Amino acid sequence: MTTNNLSINAQSEDTALSKARQVEPLLKLIVFAMGNLTLALRIESVYKVVNHTPVHSSGANHVGVAHLGELEVTVVDLYKRFFKSNQSSAFATGGYLVIVKNTTGELYGIPVPETPTLVEVPLSLLRVLPESYRRADTLEVASHVAVFPHEGTQLTVFLLDVDLLLPVFQELTAATQ
């Protein structure tokens, strides 16, 4: 009987140890501040991050174009889109352009005033944003939200869906294919 109990206890300890060793899947995100929001992009959708470059635009909306070497990149000014104002003063001393690639392979640039940060977030902390919220708020381009401890505080991060950055063009592209 004692041998059976030892065997059962050893198996229980092995199971508990293997559960403790299981690694929770992590999602790598590029995180950046925009106004009073913290936004993120999946690392897989980020093509590259470059120093801010001049953006050419009529100024009538939140879309422009930037020349990056041999490429013309559509720039989506999310600050102007979300807050209906310019953040051009933030780029007087620098800033960055986060270049992302959507699922059709088109490149978009997102101007950010400060250096983006790479953060790993457990998948279990990612939650789908309610459709009603997405329709009612300017954050319709965000698909998920995560709240997690970061540098001593609770950080709320909205995960952007790169395929929703310019939905009008997406619909036109889908209709012509």
Per-residue model confidence (pLDDT) at position 29: 96
Does residue 91 lie in a domain region?
Answer: yes
Does residue 17 lie in a domain region?
Answer: no
Q: Which two tokens stand for residue 69?
A: 């070497």
Does residue 84 lie in a domain region?
Answer: yes
DSSP result, 125-163: GEEEPPHHHHHHSTTTTEEEEEEEEETTEEEEEEEE-GG
**Tens digit of pLDDT at every position of the chain (177 positions):** 555 555 555 555 555 555 556 788 999 999 999 989 999 999 999 999 999 888 888 777 888 999 999 999 999 999 888 888 876 555 556 799 999 999 999 999 999 999 999 999 999 999 999 988 887 877 889 999 999 888 888 999 999 999 988 754 444 344 444
Q: Are 39 and 78 in contact (CB under 8 A)?
A: yes
Does residue 68 lie in a domain region?
Answer: yes
Element (H, E) at 14: helix 2-21
Provide the 8-state DSSP code for 56: B
Reduced to 3 states, what is the DSSP secondary structure of residue 36?
A: coil
Per-residue model confidence (pLDDT) at position 48: 95
Domain that holds residue 116: 25-176
Does residue 8 lie in a domain region?
Answer: no
Per-residue model confidence (pLDDT) at position 90: 54
Tell me how many degrees the CA angle 172-162-100 measures, rounded to the nearest 5: 110
Neighbour count for residue 58 (Cβ, 10 Å): 7
Does residue 131 lie in a domain region?
Answer: yes
Cα–Cα distance for residue pair 33/14, rounded to 1 Å: 44
Per-residue model confidence (pLDDT) at position 151: 83
CA 139 to chain CA centroid, nearest Å: 12
- State the total domains in the chain: 1
Does residue 119 lie in a domain region?
Answer: yes
Residue with structure tokens 């944003």? 129
Cα–Cα distance for residue pair 4/16, rounded to 1 Å: 18
